[in-house]
Chains A and B, each alone.
Chain A
């Protein structure tokens, strides 16, 4: 069946570099999306969200881009830090919340 997925299961970057994590969502009717960060053994933490009437939204060091034409989301993290090491996954809201498996981001010092 359809699922929210990710292009890359792992991503390794140097400290200070920018990171880009991608996500393909499945339902063209979804109108709200969230990126979560999950550290090992902990619950997911909200990072940033975006509604379908927007293409881009910026937070502190993070930016989410939404391309509805190809049902694609990306999360950009600027100046990646060791504390950013975690699994990141996207979520779409319709018909019920669906979650990607996640990308593991590792930041090398």
Chain B
């Protein structure tokens, strides 16, 4: 999947529990993104990071948190405040400059609520 590794592939969350989804890339990309995909809908942006130690809220950031301590890693935590977390979560990255705009995606994590 283009050098982006997401884990785990399937994740189950109990009520009141925080869970963390992993995203690692070896493409030397500066920008990384987290999207949520629900059936029949387009991808929605949760958080993005243009550079290490900086990140911005996307369109649906409530109930989620991220960190960007290393260029290669951009983990997403789904907190207990997210009341409807069941979805397919996609991590993406891209390089800098007009010739490196392509978004590359990981293989996704399916999160379900127990």
Contacts and interface: CB of A to CB of B under 8 A. Distances in A.
Interface in A82-109: 89, 91, 93, 96-102
Interface in B22-68: 33, 35, 40-43, 45, 48, 58
A101 B41 CA distance: 4
B83 interface: no
Contacts of A100: 42
Given A41-B110, A43-B90, A43-B107, A34 B102 contact: yes
Which range holds the interface residue count of chain B? Answer: 20 to 34
Nearest to B4: A43
A43 B1 contact: yes
A66 interface: no
Contacts of A98: 42
Contact of B102 (A4, A41, A49, A102): A49
B45 A96 contact: yes
A49 to B, nearest CB: 7
B106 interface: yes
Contacts of A36: 105
Interface string B77-114: 00000000000101000000000011111111010000
A43 B23 CA distance: 13
A43 B106 contact: yes
B46 to A, nearest CB: 12
Nearest to A49: B102
Contacts of A91: 103
12 contacts: A34-B102, A41-B88, A43-B1, A89-B42, A91-B103, A93-B101, A96-B45, A96-B58, A97-B33, A100-B42, A101-B41, A102-B42
8 shortest interchain CB distances as A-B pairs: A43-B105, A99-B42, A99-B43, A43-B107, A101-B42, A44-B105, A43-B108, A43-B106
Given A34-B103, A97-B103, 18 more contacts: A4-B42, A32-B101, A41-B110, A43-B1, A43-B4, A43-B105, A43-B107, A43-B108, A44-B90, A46-B102, A46-B103, A49-B102, A89-B42, A96-B48, A97-B33, A100-B42, A101-B40, A101-B41
